[in-house]
Amino acid sequence: MNNQSYQSFGNPEIAIARQNTFIARVYGWMTLGLVITALASFYTLSQPALLSAVLTNPVFFFGLIIGELVLVLVISAGMSRLSPAVASALFMFYAALNGVTLSFVLLIYTGESVAQTFFITAATFGVMSAIGYFTKRDLTSLGNLLLMALIGFLIASVVNIFLASPAIYWITTFFGIIIFVGLIAYDTQKIKRMSSMTADGTAVNKNSAILGALRLYLDFVNLFLLLLRLFGRRR
């Protein structure tokens, strides 16, 4: 244990200050990711050739999806080996790619309903994140259950691409909302605990903040897309 970690362990005020700094960094990165995604979506809409490739070229579209999955795996698995500069660049690149693939949302749904759903998502996220941060209950068992449910949700969603069943569509929508609402609280508590595992200012600490931001970013975006199924009004 280095001197900084020892001082933090023995001094609650230092520990709380470090925790607040870490949490602020996580939410700062998450917010930046959302901003980059929004800007990338608007940029894609302004570029007819790029938008056409996303909407009409399956190879290009699924190439973007695969690229996003690879980036998530690299960021998640490589935190101990990546430099903070590389990790942050990969996170921002992922957010931009996600903005390109999500540009269709602004074409399908009205701008007003997208904005309304975004604020509903933000309010829900804020409430559940606060619960995860302040609750004294250990959410580990709940998180494990939600992660297993998430696997089932993903499998059902992929299967329904081929079945195109309205019943499965709405079942996965409601269960997905429940899953990601719960994951927001679980991930927030997990990130809060992460703040005490590394010394402030180290590469591992900075990378851990980016990993935490990625988790919350994914929770937010997926909840937004699911709520959009309920509240979004098509053009």
Q: Do the Cβ atoms of 99 and 38 come closer than 8 Å?
A: yes
Backbone angles phi, psi at 44, to 5 degrees: -60, -40
**What is 149-215 written as a DSSP string?**
HHHHHHHHHHHHHHH--HHHHHHHHHHHHHHHHHHHHHHHHHHHHHTTTS-TTSHHHHHHHHHHHHH
Q: 191 near 214, Cβ under 8 Å?
A: no
Residues 160, 116: Cα–Cα separation, whole Å: 27
pLDDT single digits (tens) 75-88: 988 777 899 999 99
Q: Which pLDDT score is estimated for 11?
A: 65
Long-range contacts of 201-207 (CB under 8 A, 24+ apart): 201/4, 203/83, 203/84, 204/79, 204/80, 205/22, 206/25, 206/84, 206/87, 206/88, 207/79, 207/80, 207/82, 207/84, 207/87
pLDDT of residue 10: 52
Q: What is the pLDDT of residues 50-65, one digit of tens each?
A: 999 999 999 999 999 9
Q: Is the pLDDT of residue 13 over 80?
A: no
Q: What is the pTM of this model?
A: 0.91
Q: Give the type of residue at 6.
A: Y
Residue 145 has pLDDT above 80, yes or no: yes
Residue 155 pLDDT class (50, 70, 90 cuts): very high
pLDDT, residue 226, reads 97
pLDDT band at 20 (very low <50, low <70, confident <90, very high): confident
